[in-house]
Structure 1
């Protein structure tokens, strides 16, 4: 069975996800939507997809799942909208910058029974998975402290940083998720040094 995707957002991370869909023989990119028609057209053409509006994607019977790669301030609304439309959803992180808004969004997802995955990709990195296994197997002993150093391959555009909550909120979310993933529990205290 081929899973049919629509991609919302044809920018930097949207291109990464389009390549990932195209590389999977069990997936097909059917549609692309973006506020900038030229970006949507170029990305759709590169992968044999159509340019469609978000409204058309929402109603489409030939789309099983959406990948939300739009600016952060649109994630929660789009996630709710597509959960109500019965689509499976992959949403780039974070869902929102407000914990209350995230909780409201997740309540809608739960109520609809939609499948949602948030883009915490580092959980699938073989190095982090090996560390988690070593912790689970007791090979490391009791973990007292986790220190994570991260780097991104390149800085995102300034307009993206402004809408995403800033580089700290946009990228450090991965580090917080890694601490939770590695330890298998929620944090009690957090400190940071710059």
Structure 2
């Protein structure tokens, strides 16, 4: 395994933080917070909620860091925590939305529906982004990990706790879905 300077620094900071260094923990936070934030942002659609999720993530990291046997595993372990905390947030949000929908069902029956707005023409990048936003959050997260955070198939498999072959097949399937959506959109224009 080739270790870059960031990985070596991470390992040293983990070891120091495990020994009780608050400074090392702050430095570890500063080093990894941007990547963890980007990952959380993929699943959590509200900026304030991303901050809440990340607070929970860093609390879990602080509680569990002493039990991390291999400092080299910190990135994968931290991404797994983000994945789980984000999934918890999504589940809670879905329950909240269902409750809101049930509460508003009667109001919607009484009020006339607003006419649908005409979609504005968009360029290819906007069309791709829109198609990605229509995907389920777990598929968006997979794309984000692979293409934006440039994580390997093996790293993604470890973070999501699924076999590498499953990661490959899901990425292929997602790309095919996006391709069909874009082809359909282009054929209607």
Question: How high is the TM-score relative to the length of structure 2?
Answer: 0.29
Higher fraction of helix:
2
